[in-house]
Amino acid sequence: MVQQIKYNKIKYALILLLTIPFNLHSTEILFRNGDAFIAEDVSESGSYVFISWQDRKYRIPKSDLLRIDKNKVGPESSYRYSEFELTDGSIVRGILVEKQSSKLIIKTELGFAELDLTKIRRQEINETSPTIPDRYLMDVQSHDGNWRGGLSISGTASFGPWSNIFPLIYGGGGFVERVSNTQYSFLGFSSDYQYAPGKNGNMTMWSQNFYYGKTFSASSPYFLIGFGASYISWQDGDRSRAGIDPDGVFEFGWNWETKNRTIFRTGIRSVCSFEGQDSLCRSGIRFSLGAFF
Q: Kindly report, residue by residue over 204-221, the tens digit of the pLDDT.
A: 999 999 999 998 877 889
When pLDDT is averaged across residues 232-249 and rounded to a whole number, the result is 93
CB 190 within 8 A of CB 152: yes
Is residue 63 within a helix (H) or strand (E), and if so which, with residue range?
none
Q: What are the pLDDT digits (tens) for 158-197?
A: 998 899 999 999 999 999 999 875 567 899 999 999 999 9
The residues that bridge with 237 in the sheet, in sequence order, are none
User: Which domains can be identified in the chain, with CATH numbers?
Assistant: 2-132 (no CATH), 139-292 (2.40.160.20)
For the ranges 10-19, 57-66, 131-140, 255-264, which has the lowest average pLDDT?
10-19
Q: What are the pLDDT digits (tens) for 41-92?
A: 888 877 788 888 887 888 888 888 988 888 877 778 888 777 777 878 777 7
CA distances from 79 to 11, 14, 83, 266 (A): 21, 18, 13, 35
Query: The pTM is what?
Result: 0.56
- Check residue 2 and give its pLDDT: 37
Residue 228 has pLDDT above 80, yes or no: yes
